[in-house]
Amino acid sequence: MAENIEVGSVLTGKVTGIQPYGAFVALDENTQGLVHISEVTHGFVKDINEHLKVGDEVNVKVLSIDEAAGKIGLSIRATEEPPAQPAAAPKAKKPRKRQVAAAVTSTDADTQGFNTLKDKLQEWIEQSERQDLINK
């Protein structure tokens, strides 16, 4: 690896190869690094070929150096100004819907609402034994 390359330095390189996951950039005759697809530009990159071509000269920032593996991580995005964010209007808060608890009286509970399974089971057994319902 080249001795003069340090993490954080900005260099000029030439794109030597493109893969779906990123682009290989030659920093000098003996040193090459990878610009991951997420580091090509600000925003989402679906197809790296829409942004880079083999032979393009690009400015890259050195993100990482792994001497043991012989890998250099590069970023083109880190050398560019991020796009200006439009001033966002404050979001209007939606009023929350309140749930109102219904008042249940003892007479209401007997005539409507949910029955327990124990109560319904007895009702179902009685219905299953009635001949007028079976013959329908």
Separation between Cα atoms, residue 60 and residue 52, nearest integer Å: 13
| pTM as predicted | 0.58
- pLDDT tens-place string over residues 64-100: 988 888 889 999 999 888 887 766 656 667 777 777 7
Separation between Cα atoms, residue 56 and residue 3, nearest integer Å: 24
Exposure b/e, 108-132, CB count within 10 A at least 16 = b: eeeeeeeeeeeeeeeeeeeeeeeee
Separation between Cα atoms, residue 75 and residue 70, nearest integer Å: 17
- pLDDT tens-place string over residues 27-37: 888 889 999 99
What are the sequence ranges of the domains in the chain? 10-79
As assigned by CATH, the class of the 10-79 domain is: mainly beta
